[in-house]
Amino acid sequence: MNKEAKISCKNIWKLYGEAPEKFLKNTNNNPTTEEIKKNNYIPAVRDASIDVNTGEILVIMGLSGSGKSTLLRCMSKLIEPTHGQVFFEGNDLLKASEKELIDIRRHKMGMVFQHFALLPHRTVLQNVAFPLEVQGQEIQKREERAKDVIKLVGLEGREKYYPRELSGGQQQRVGLARSLAVEPDVWFLDEPFSALDPLIRKEMQNEFLRLQSMLKKTIVFITHDFDEAIRLADRIAIMYEGLIVQVGTPEELITKPATDYVAEFTKDIPRSKLLNAESIMNEKDKKPYENKVNYSDKIEKIASKVLKSESIFSVVDDNKEVIGSLSKKELIKALFAEDKNE
């Protein structure tokens, strides 16, 4: 197991149907798609193994029904996986007692929901203080802390409002504040901005990045929006019909899509803004050329320079050592993904 991993999932299966444990056992924990279909099981998650590293933003991406929410819920044991192991800081969550689980959730996990899931009968302040209240904290202490978090998400002055009096964006800010009230180590966000209008969504993404730059949490973020994933993610896991198809940085997904499905997703992404010199260079050619570009330069920045010139460029790292080369050929190949297969 990766030592850095905050959460580590090993061969997670979640099947819906009659006595799925028995079925999995009979098929050696590895049934084929045909077997699953034939026996009328609905596979939500299939054999998912993934590590979430401390301090990273892992985005799980997939269309509806791909099993991304189920996988997230397996990580917090909101849903019991049919088979597999989930390690949280090295401890097996699935073997934890009810009491241990409550303890972990009270102190180490925070979760934000798609439809906000605010308690309608409580004010903003009471909603944010709720996780502290169930821990049994005194009213003054918890309200003080809640006020701090409300300030953090920019809702100062709205403490006494009821959720129904707030806009969608504001409600989700309350959701963010509530999940942060206990200062969790791990922050789960289940399509937190999907229910919001596009403009508000952008604003909330910025808000999220701002919060993360201050808080440095370990984050699992679910979305069905690839643009959102690229904007926020350190790493992206793409799911399709319950399977994790590919895990990697946004650049890796675009330059080396594992399947056609991933390629289809990445097709419309403006590459020039995302890719840097390193991700598209020719690694074999380490000859030093006259012209040099830095490995982290975005294509956007160097494209005109490279395309105007007939010569080849060297790609250098921070120590000025040559790690590869870049020519018109690589650049064009990277910018027009369709050409890749030819």
Partner 1 sequence: MNKIKTIFRGKFFFIFAPFIFLWLLRYIIPNYTISSKTPHWAYIPPKSCLGGCGSIDGLIPFVDWTNALIQFLRKYEIFGLFTFRDFTRGIANYVDKFLDFTEAVLHKGFPSYDVGPLPWIFILTLTIILGFYLRGWRLALLGGACFSYLILFSKRGIWELSMKSLAAISVSAPLAALIGLCLGILAVKRKRFANFLWPMLNILQSLPHFSYLILVVIFVGIGTKAGVIATVIFAFPPMARLTILGLQNISQEIKEAGVMAGCTKWQMLFKVEIPAARSPIMLGINQVIMQCLAMIVIAAFIGQPGLGHDLLIRLQGLRLGEAFEIGVAVVLIAITLDRYSQALALKEPERREGNFVKRNPYLCATFFAIIICSILVFLFPFFNEYPKELTVSASVYLDNAIKSFTRSLFVPLGIFRDWMLIYFLMPLKAVFQSMPWTGVILFVGAIGWKLGKMRLALTVMLFVFFIASSGYWVRAMITVYMVFASLVICALIGIPLGIWASKKESRTKIVLNICDIFQTFPSFIYLLPAIMLFQISDVSAIFAIVIYSSIPMIRYTIFGLRGVPQHIIEAAITSGCTQRQLLWKVRMPLAFPEIILGANQTLMFSLFMVMIAGFIGTVDLSQEIFRALSFSDGGKGLIIGLCVAFIGLTADRLLVEWSKQMKLKLGFKN
- Contact positions vs partner 1 (CB under 8 A): 73, 76, 78, 102-103, 105-107, 109-111, 113-123, 130-131, 133-135, 160-162, 164-165, 178-179, 188
Q: How far is the CB of 102 from partner 1 (least distance, A)?
A: 5
Q: How far is the CB of 131 from partner 1 (least distance, A)?
A: 4
Q: How far is the CB of 11 from partner 1 (least distance, A)?
A: 24
Nearer to partner 1 among residue 107 and residue 286 (C-beta): 107
Contact (CB, 8 A) for 82 and 242 = no
Query: Which of 222, 254, 220 is closest to 239 using CA atoms?
Result: 222
Query: Which of 140, 138, 139, 159 is closest to 149 using CA atoms?
Result: 159
Nearer to partner 1 among residue 111 and residue 254 (C-beta): 111
Q: How far is the CB of 278 from partner 1 (least distance, A)?
A: 39
Nearer to partner 1 among residue 119 and residue 215 (C-beta): 119
Contact (CB, 8 A) for 176 and 111 = no
Q: How far is the CB of 34 from partner 1 (least distance, A)?
A: 30
Q: What angle do CA 226, 227, 230 make, to 5 degrees?
A: 85
Nearer to partner 1 among residue 53 and residue 135 (C-beta): 135
Residue type, 170: Q
Nearer to partner 1 among residue 111 and residue 315 (C-beta): 111
Three-state SS across 206-261?
HHHHHHHHHHCCEEEEEECCHHHHHHHCCEEEEEECCEEEEEECHHHHHHCCCCHH
Nearer to partner 1 among residue 160 and residue 256 (C-beta): 160
Q: What Å distances lie between residue 313 and 193, 202, 288, 290, 331, CA to CA?
A: 42, 37, 8, 7, 11
Q: How far is the CB of 198 from partner 1 (least distance, A)?
A: 22
